[in-house]
Amino acid sequence: MKILVTGAAGFIGMHVAQRLLAVGHEVRGLDNLNAYYDVRLKHYRLEALQKNKNFEFLKLDLKEREAVAELFDQERYDVVIHLAAQAGVRYSLEAPFEYVDSNLVGFMAVLEGVRAQGCQHLIYASSSSVYGENSKVPFEEDDRVDEPVSLYAATKKANELMAHSYANLYQIPTTGLRFFTVYGPAGRPDMAPWLFTEAIFADQPIRIFNHGDMYRDFTYVDDIVDGLEHVIHQPPAGQSLHRVLNIGRGSPVSLMDFIGAIEGALGKKPTKKFADMQPGDVPRTFASTERLHAFTGYEPRVGVDEGVKEFVNWYADTWLPHIKS
């Protein structure tokens, strides 16, 4: 199949594109290479993808509507996997219009492109953030998600509503995936696994919010890719052509235990500075993956200790030498 992956220079995008290429698909990877975090990391990811002759990179900002329309007019895609977005809960407090441009205007451009040409399946990234401060656990897809605590979460909920309307107006099979705290090699520098590893490696103190009383459904990126790969071949059918699925490990880990796994992998302990909860953050996430399992047989395989070691080894043995070379 010919598959378009937006956000291909992003963390999940790179890993998804690598898997698709490995099983023989032709992949077009789109990204605007913005400077939200170190662009060297995005180029590193792209270099890995460009080693495959079936990958073609397209530098494009999705808010450029005419350019996006031309992209879909020039080439037909069997599947579109839309992972491009302005990420980060905390950054949405500083730069709200970045989220409007990327997550709303950009998503609209993709929906219009897909509507114009049609495709077998549109898959897009939602987020566990849509659950807000939901107290019922585990989080299930039928739970209320109309009280977001950050603009980032609000844009992701808006994406689900937009996708629902387009799927059923224009008969486009569409799946939204609510990702739960994805981590692993080549991950994002603004997320806890990288921030803690970087600080501990450099013998710097780490800052721990909500005084450590936080739980996250940390999900290793290979498990995410496994689930997404299965979803590609299981488009929704029937009365509604839009569905939303949780994709996580389904086993929350305390933040302090996660830090302990990083300490164990690095063989050192940092000074810990405890702080209050950050605005827009939530104390815990916990995915029910029963619905995804029913559709695809999804079973996450990588535990936190194993996943953290993989990330820490990549950071120490690959990333640091890469940026020093």
pLDDT tens readout for residues 41-89:
999 999 999 999 999 999 999 999 999 999 999 999 999 999 999 998 8
pLDDT value at residue 281: 85
pLDDT value at residue 10: 98
Q: Are the CB atoms for 50 and 42 separated by under 8 Å?
A: no
pLDDT over threshold 90, residue 279: no
Mean pLDDT calculated for residue range 130-148: 94
Percent of the chain with pLDDT over 90: 93
pLDDT over threshold 90, residue 118: no
pLDDT value at residue 89: 86
pLDDT value at residue 304: 97
Structural domains of the chain ordered from first start? 2-180+221-250+287-301 (3.40.50.720)
Q: Return all residues near 284 (Cβ < 8 A) that are at least 6 apart.
A: 137, 214, 215, 216, 252
pLDDT digits over 157-208, tens only? 999 999 999 999 999 999 999 999 999 999 999 999 999 999 999 999 999 9
CA–CA distance from 131 to each of 145, 223, 227, 252, 283 (Å)? 5, 21, 20, 15, 11
Which residue among 77, 91, 152, 215 is the active-site one?
152
Main-chain phi, psi angles of 67, to 5 degrees: -65, -40
Query: Is 124 marked active-site?
Result: no
pLDDT value at residue 143: 97
Mean pLDDT calculated for residue range 207-216: 94
pLDDT over threshold 90, residue 238: no
CA–CA distance from 77 to each of 1, 166, 320 (Å)? 8, 17, 37
Main-chain phi, psi angles of 175, to 5 degrees: -125, 125
Helices (H), 202-252: 221-232
Nearest to 122 by CA among 176, 179, 75: 176
pLDDT over threshold 90, residue 287: yes
pLDDT digits over 297-318, tens only? 999 999 999 999 999 999 999 9
pLDDT over threshold 90, residue 239: no
pLDDT value at residue 72: 96
